[in-house]
Amino acid sequence: MAYSESSIRVLKGLEPVKERPGMYTRTDSPTHIIQEAIDNAADEALGGYAQKIAVILHKDGSVSVEDDGRGIPVGMHPAEGVPTVEVVFTRLHAGGKFDKKSGGAYSFSGGLHGVGVSVTNALSTRLEVVVKREGRIHRMAFAGGDVVEPLAEAGTVGQRNTGTLVRAWPDPKYFDTPRVKRGELERLLRAKAVLLPGVKVTLADEESGEEKTWHYADGLVSYLTETLPEGGEAGYVSPIFAAERYAGTADASGFAEGEGAAWAMAWCEAGGAGESYVNLIPTPLGGTHDAGLRAGVFESVKEFVSHHGLLPGKVNLQAEDVWRSVRFVLSARILDPQFQGQTKERLSSRDALRLVSSRVKDPLDAWLNGHVEEAKKIADLAIKAAISRQKAGKVVEKKKQSGAAVLPGKLTDCESEDITRNELFLVEGDSAGGSAKQGRYREFQAILPLRGKVLNTWEVERGEIFGNAEVHDMAVALGLDPHGPDAPDEVLSNLRYGKVIIMADADVDGSHIQTLLLTLFFRHFPRLIDSGHVYIAQPPLFAVKVAAQGKGRPERRFYALDESEKDQILERLAEDGVRPDNIHTGRFKGLGEMNPEQLKETTMHPDTRRLLPVVLDREALEEARRMFTLLMGKGEASSRRAWMELKGNLVEADI
């Protein structure tokens, strides 16, 4: 095929969204593109211009979002030469949230990308906008992102009757399911009401006739109260500490006026959990604002403990000891928030850590010293956690009972005793672990879910590795003791599985977990690798579904390991004459998104899965040891940086 100047294609307008929707939104359902319209309404309320947000799930599958804010401007845009409302819905990176520092339309909003409702428009078969502004009603409509009904006046209203209504019909070909997730939508709307005290938020379902209303006068405190257990089995639960602090006009810390945070938190002996938001946008993966709250809380509690002399000798208090029992709701306001990805699930703004920690510390200092008895109970929880952590870090022997190691409780074992056939899957996350348990072959496949990142054991002494619960559980499940590279074959005599399969997400975190597990095996169980027992599962990143084409062509589904493989599948389908509108490509964001049947078919079934064997090259043993030291050694930060600067352009990372 010729490669010439005409081979270079330039995507214009909303074409990039249609070509790669997964880069701009979640494609599991249309919930996120509807959230974009809700976020715009919430931004009006955040600025004090709206008091009502109403969402309707219509019988025909469309969703409408209406607010009583100022209404999107409808006059001609000075640069684009078309109505401004048209610019908002048809141009990427266009919106009223860029010009902030010079008195723009929004002081605080959910983001600066400017692709929100234009993505909603691009991925909808039809979208209608009704604007009430300056005593007039204006209306226009789009289809597939293009204008089909130009802006026109549709009537008059009172001068104070203003607002915007957006109704969208999501295009099913872009989503795994054409319907929004009702539960997720309810949680989002409820959170908006919580974070906007005084604003009335409603959700109506035309099909069921059900309508829900959220209106919180007490905001965060009411919301957090509903999540707290009531003593008893939960143990101690502290009173709620709630406050808010924002930078003023003469703020010396360098933050813009109005930047800051509101929060509500309590300490619960049963364990911590929390929710965080940035300019009303939920951040389920947390980020730098969460880290700021954690830092401020730790410093405050640490100072209280030190001032009152509560810390026993040789006990070192760390942030995780204080934080592990905190339940919180955090709402941060940031002038120019930066997120990881357009779906805005994690905040990456560096200044947010300093912003939130500096806002929370002084009020918490005052609260702790004003509630001394409660503060001492909070300190006691942290001290107990610190003592427990330090004990776990010391040399620990494997737990034994009647001379035999007790298998870990979270291990779902197999029925067979044939070691050559038995397989142990080390699975990232409890969610994926649950699916793997349902999709496995009970006879010869065992599942051990791993929670979070495994300990980096490269510089941990052999006698101390069992201080980590995850490492201890893996060693007991495998039936192995730590050993050196020259250990005899007898060290594997109690091995319980012929294959040890690392099953992690196909992303950066999954690769990190793989590396940590391989570090453990290479450093402390080298004969396991040397004897060919270790494998890495290869879960797919994409699913390609082909709709049924007549009686002789039922629905088909293909799985692709990466982008290149997906493109090859699409090319093959095109050569077979399959129309593009009969093909839907979905992207897995992790193992937890796969149902048990998908996980079984792609990653666990011996005949359909792909496993990557881990091979130890004896001739390159020293080079492997050098690389592990470079990558995992605590004192190798500068060498790692130099290596990454040299080799960073070669990596293909799914970030």
**421 against 549, higher pLDDT:** 421
Please say if the pLDDT value at position 595 is more than 90: no
Taking CA 85 as the corner, what is the angle to CA 154 and CA 123, rounded to the nearest 5 degrees? Answer: 105
Tell me the pTM.
0.51
- From 299, 351, 374, 507, active-site residue: 507
Q: What domains can you pick out in the chain, each with its CATH number?
A: 16-214 (3.30.565.10), 220-392 (3.30.230.10), 400-538+612-650 (3.40.50.670), 540-587 (no CATH)
Lowest mean pLDDT segment, chosen from 123-127, 312-316, 515-519, 628-632: 628-632
Taking CA 309 as the corner, what is the angle to CA 304 and CA 311, rounded to the nearest 5 degrees? Answer: 90
**Per-residue three-class SS string for 65-97:** EEECCCCCCCCECCCCCCEHHHHHHHCCCCCCC
Please say if the pLDDT value at position 252 is more than 70: no
Active-site residue, 505 included: yes
Taking CA 518 as the corner, what is the angle to CA 515 and CA 523, rounded to the nearest 5 degrees? Answer: 125
**Per-residue three-class SS string for 522-579:** HHHCHHHHHCCCEEEECCCCEEEEECCCCCCCCCEEEEECCHHHHHHHHHHHHHCCCC
The residue with tokens 């007039």 is 136
Q: What is the pLDDT of residue 287?
A: 83
Task: State the Cα–Cα distance between residues 352 and 123, nearest whole angstrom.
Answer: 32
Please say if the pLDDT value at position 104 is more than 70: no
3-state secondary structure of 593: helix
Q: DSSP labels for 213-254? A: EE--SSTHHHHHHHHS--SGGG--BPPPEEEEEE--TT-TTS
Residue pair 396/405 in contact (Cβ under 8 Å)? The answer is no
- From 43, 68, 345, 428, active-site residue: 428
Please say if the pLDDT value at position 391 is more than 60: yes
Residue pair 368/301 in contact (Cβ under 8 Å)? The answer is yes
Q: Residue 235: which region, alpha, beta or left (left: phi > 0; alpha: psi -120 to 50)?
A: left
Tokens encoding 476: 């007991």
The residue with tokens 């009006």 is 44
**Beta strands 404-405; 400-401: pairing state:** antiparallel
Task: State the Cα–Cα distance between residues 624 and 485, nearest whole angstrom.
Answer: 13
Strand order in the sheet with 583-587: 556-560, 542-546, 583-587
Residue 102 carries which DSSP code? T
Looking at the DSSP bridge assignments, the partners of residue 147 are 142
Q: Of 105-119, 347-361, 402-416, 525-539, where does the model show the most confidence?
A: 525-539
- Average pLDDT of the residues in 212-239: 81
**229 against 393, higher pLDDT:** 229
What is the overall mean pLDDT for the chain?
Answer: 81
Closest CA to 266 of 196, 327, 341: 327
Looking at the DSSP bridge assignments, the partners of residue 452 are none
Active-site residue, 134 included: no
**105 against 326, higher pLDDT:** 326
Strand order in the sheet with 260-267: 241-246, 260-267, 326-333, 273-278, 281-282
Please say if the pLDDT value at position 467 is more than 80: no
CA distances from 95 to 40, 84, 347 (A): 10, 9, 20
Which helix (H) or strand (E) covers residue 205, if one does?
strand 200-205
Task: State the Cα–Cα distance between residues 96 and 100, nearest whole angstrom.
Answer: 9
Tokens encoding 157: 């209203």
- From 509, 562, 565, 636, active-site residue: 509
Please say if the pLDDT value at position 203 is more than 70: yes
Tokens encoding 504: 């992690």
Please say if the pLDDT value at position 18 is more than 50: yes
- From 39, 67, 423, 505, active-site residue: 505
Q: What is the pLDDT of residue 639?
A: 72
Task: State the Cα–Cα distance between residues 179 and 190, nearest whole angstrom.
Answer: 19
Looking at the DSSP bridge assignments, the partners of residue 347 are 287, 339
Strand order in the sheet with 445-450: 445-450, 423-428, 499-503, 534-537, 611-613
3-state secondary structure of 2: coil
Active-site residue, 581 included: no
Looking at the DSSP bridge assignments, the partners of residue 428 are 450
Task: State the Cα–Cα distance between residues 240 and 203, nearest whole angstrom.
Answer: 29
Please say if the pLDDT value at position 170 is more than 90: yes
pLDDT-derived band at 550, boundaries 50, 70, 90? low
Q: Of 73-82, 100-109, 322-331, 451-460, where does the model show the most confidence?
A: 322-331
Please say if the pLDDT value at position 614 is more than 60: yes
Closest CA to 585 of 609, 550, 607, 556: 556
CA distances from 37 to 46, 130, 586 (A): 14, 13, 23
Taking CA 386 as the corner, what is the angle to CA 381 and CA 391, rounded to the nearest 5 degrees? Answer: 130
Would you call 313 exposed, middle or buried from its count of C-beta atoms within 10 A (0-12, 13-18, 19+)?
Answer: exposed
Closest CA to 36 of 113, 132, 126: 113
Task: State the Cα–Cα distance between residues 526 and 581, nearest whole angstrom.
Answer: 51
pLDDT-derived band at 340, boundaries 50, 70, 90? low
- Average pLDDT of the residues in 82-89: 87
Q: What is the pLDDT of residue 403?
A: 41
- Average pLDDT of the residues in 47-65: 92
Count of CB atoms situated within 10 Å of the CB of 185: 19
Taking CA 262 as the corner, what is the angle to CA 261 and CA 263, rounded to the nearest 5 degrees? Answer: 120
**194 against 406, higher pLDDT:** 194
Angle between helices 220-227 and 182-195 (to 10 degrees): 130
Q: DSSP labels for 464-517? A: GGGGSHHHHHHHHHHT-----TT--GGGGTT---SEEEEE--SSHHHHHHHHHH
Lowest mean pLDDT segment, chosen from 135-139, 246-250, 627-631: 627-631
Please say if the pLDDT value at position 448 is more than 80: yes
Count of CB atoms situated within 10 Å of the CB of 632: 19
Please say if the pLDDT value at position 99 is more than 50: no
Residue 388 makes CB contacts below 8 A (sequence gap 6+) with none
CA distances from 60 to 169, 170, 205 (A): 8, 11, 11
- Average pLDDT of the residues in 37-51: 87
**29 against 653, higher pLDDT:** 29
Q: Of 23-27, 51-55, 71-75, where does the model show the most confidence?
A: 51-55
Tokens encoding 308: 């009152």
